[in-house]
């Protein structure tokens, strides 16, 4: 599997899952921001944060954090919205540093034993979720399920984060080369 397929499978799909995001918010309640998903004509759906005090929608495209016309593979809206509730520090506009901030966010989340425990208890350990997540292969239909075994899943997520840090950030910048 190439980086793109592994990223979609183990980062976008999992951390974009409404139930995973609800678990995170339950463990780390945020009085200022909530996570939402809205329909988007361009992408089908789009992850945003909402300021609970003002009602303002914080959209990565509108705030110019995400530039899909310039960075054609920047499909990180779910990461950007999660980062908004994760950190009080705004994301930098510098492309590589922005990628590293997201990687570090995910590493911090994965070090959270309470989060991992609830993820395992509510999603991974539930046999009804056996086919919840699929292995992504661009332009190739697949029925292969993501392993719901906690150790296997975490190993795969960490591998994607390592590759993202070493070279994968290039995928999200410019034309992805």
pLDDT, tens digit (0-9, with 9 covering 90-100), for 45-86: 899 999 999 999 999 999 989 988 899 999 999 999 999 999
User: Which of 20-29, 41-50, 124-133, 151-160 is least confident?
Assistant: 41-50
Residue 22 lies in a domain: yes
Kindly calculate the radius of gyration of the chain based on its CA atoms and give it in whole angstroms: 16
Are the C-beta atoms of 102 and 108 separated by less than 8 Å? no
Closest CA to 129 of 7, 4, 13: 13
- Residue 169: per-residue pLDDT: 93
pLDDT tens digit sequence for 133-161:
999 998 787 779 999 999 999 999 999 99
Are the C-beta atoms of 114 and 27 separated by less than 8 Å? yes
Residue 21 lies in a domain: yes
Element (H, E) at 19: helix 18-27
Are the C-beta atoms of 11 and 160 separated by less than 8 Å? yes
- Which residues partner with 134 through β-bridges? 145
Residue 98 lies in a domain: yes
In terms of residue numbers, what domain contains 123?
3-172
H runs (alpha helix) in 38-171:
77-86, 95-110, 113-119, 150-166
Residue 122 lies in a domain: yes
Residue 177 lies in a domain: no
Q: How many domains does the chain have?
A: 1
Are the C-beta atoms of 143 and 137 separated by less than 8 Å? no
- Residue 122: per-residue pLDDT: 97
Residue 57 lies in a domain: yes
Over residues 5-18, the mean pLDDT reads 96
Closest CA to 79 of 56, 50, 99: 99
């Amino acid at each position: 599997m190439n980086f793109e397929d592994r990223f979609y499978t183990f980062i976008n799909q999992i951390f974009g899952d409404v139930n995973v995001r609800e678990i995170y918010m339950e463990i780390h309640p945020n009085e200022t921001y909530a996570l939402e998903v809205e329909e988007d004509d361009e992408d089908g759906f789009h992850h945003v944060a909402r300021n609970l005090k003002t009602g303002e929608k914080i959209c990565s495209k509108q705030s110019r954090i995400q530039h899909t016309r310039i960075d054609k593979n920047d499909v990180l809206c779910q990461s950007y919205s999660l980062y908004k509730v994760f950190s009080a520090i705004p994301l930098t506009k510098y492309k590589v540093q922005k990628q590293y901030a997201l990687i570090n966010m995910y590493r911090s989340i994965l070090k959270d034993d309470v989060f991992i425990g609830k993820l395992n208890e509510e999603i991974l350990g539930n046999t009804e979720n056996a086919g919840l997540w699929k292995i992504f292969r661009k332009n190739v239909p697949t029925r292969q399920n993501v392993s719901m075994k906690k150790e296997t899943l975490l190993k795969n997520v960490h591998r994607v984060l390592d590759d993202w840090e070493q070279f994968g950030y290039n995928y999200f910048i410019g034309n992805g080369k």
